[in-house]
Amino acid sequence: MRTGYASQELVPKEFAWSPATPAMLADIDPKIGKRLAIGTDFREIYYAADPSAGQAVQQGFFQMQGDVYLSFQLDSAFTLYYNRGLTNT
């Protein structure tokens, strides 16, 4: 699960396909309440073979990751953290 800084600054400005505008960033808040936060992670890739290279044409989407995160701050020293992915790991 990403920190507030990563959710609001790092990912939208550095990792996103197209950088977010300040107005869009103002709406990002992973906190549900004072001690509860939620996050998600979804990654997918599109792959295709080059038919001119003599390869069979294969193409499609491959799902790399899909996760939901919950974080509950019990107190200043302890956090209860739950991560559920698409796989059974």
Q: What's residue 46's pLDDT?
A: 86
Query: What is the reported pLDDT for 42?
Result: 80
Q: Which residue has the higher pLDDT, 71 or 17?
A: 71
**Domains of the chain, residue spans:** 1-30, 34-89
When comparing pLDDT for 88 and 81, which is higher?
81
Which residues, at least 6 apart from 8, have a Cβ–Cβ distance to it below 8 Å?
25, 28, 29
pLDDT digits (tens, 9 = 90+) for 21-76: 666 666 666 667 788 888 888 888 888 877 776 666 677 888 888 888 888 988 88
pLDDT at 87: 73
- Run of H or E including 5: helix 4-5
pLDDT of residue 29: 64
Reported as half-sphere exposure (CB side, CA atoms, 13 A), residue 11 has a value of 16
